[in-house]
Every structure is written in structure tokens, then in C-alpha cells.
Amino acid sequence: MGSISEQRNAIKIAVIEEQVVGLRTQQRMQYESTQKRFDHMEMKIDELVAVMNRGRGAYAASLMFAGTLGAALLKMVSLLIGYFGK
């Protein structure tokens, strides 16, 4: 059997190895948790971009509608002025 200092060193090494295993497990769990958060954030960003794009499309459509309506009203006013102006 080895000396007392060899036994103490063996015990210290075993404790350190066990701590390293625990730290690696903890790091893996933190990595997985962080990865889930990033995936969730990515999904939320994609949803936000889709909503923004729909909003831009609705805004463009409303501008087109307002322009068309304005042009039609101007044409009607022009025709009325021309008809009653004579």
C-alpha cells in the first residue's frame, strides 16, 4: 500500500475529477438552455419581420387606394366644373 500522501493525492485527484464532471454537466445544461433561448428569439424575430412586412403591404395598398380615389375625385370635379362652367 502507498504512503499517506499518495492516498491523499489520489483522493484529491478523484474529487477534482468528480468536480470536472459536474462542471461539464452544468456547462452542457447552460448551453442547451441558451440555445433554446436563441432559437426562441430567432422565431420571434421572424414573426416580427412577417408582421412588419404585412404592415408595409397594407400601407402601400392604402396609399394606392387613396391615390386612385383622389384622382377619381379630381376627375369628377373637373368634369363638373367643365359641365357647369359653360
What confidence tier does 60 reach under pLDDT thresholds 50, 70, 90? confident
To the question of pTM greater than 0.75 for the whole model, the response is no
| Cα–Cα distance, 27 to 25 (Å, whole number) | 5
Is the pLDDT at 2 greater than 70? The verdict is no
Q: Does position 56 have pLDDT exceeding 70, yes or no? A: yes
DSSP 8-state class, residue 32: H
- Is pLDDT above 70 for 7? yes
